[in-house]
Amino acid sequence: MTATRLGHPRPEPSFTIMVNGRPVEAWPGESIAAVLLAAGRRVFRQTAGHAPRGFFCGMGICFDCLITLNGVPNVRSCVTPAAPDCVVEAPE
């Protein structure tokens, strides 16, 4: 049986990325933002005034999807492919 992601068949095997210390399922070809959204996460960062920000433009323009990836801050999750070695930090 072929696994599905958001109703689309995914014949490739999945892998996990770590998000705030917890494993989250990801599939080859997905952006980190897609993985986070599919896991139910809507807040990716907070402004200096602690206002929540999340996925908005989806093409690397708005800066609302910034995360910390493998210790590097301010990475645009919408244009960064998920990989098995990804360690993501984002507000809870």
* Residues of the shown chain interacting with ligand FES in the complex, contacts defined by CB under 6 A: 55-58, 60-65, 76, 78
Question: 9 or 81, CB closer to ligand FES?
Answer: 81
Q: Least CB distance from residue 92 to ligand FES, whole Å?
A: 19
Question: 28 or 58, CB closer to ligand FES?
Answer: 58
- Which tokens in the block code for residue 52? 């929540």
Q: Least CB distance from residue 9 to ligand FES, whole Å?
A: 26
Q: Least CB distance from residue 55 to ligand FES, whole Å?
A: 5
Question: 30 or 64, CB closer to ligand FES?
Answer: 64
- Which tokens in the block code for residue 36? 């986070």
What are the DSSP calls for 24-68, one per residue?
EEE-TT-BHHHHHHHTT----EE-TT--EE---SSSSSS-TTEEE
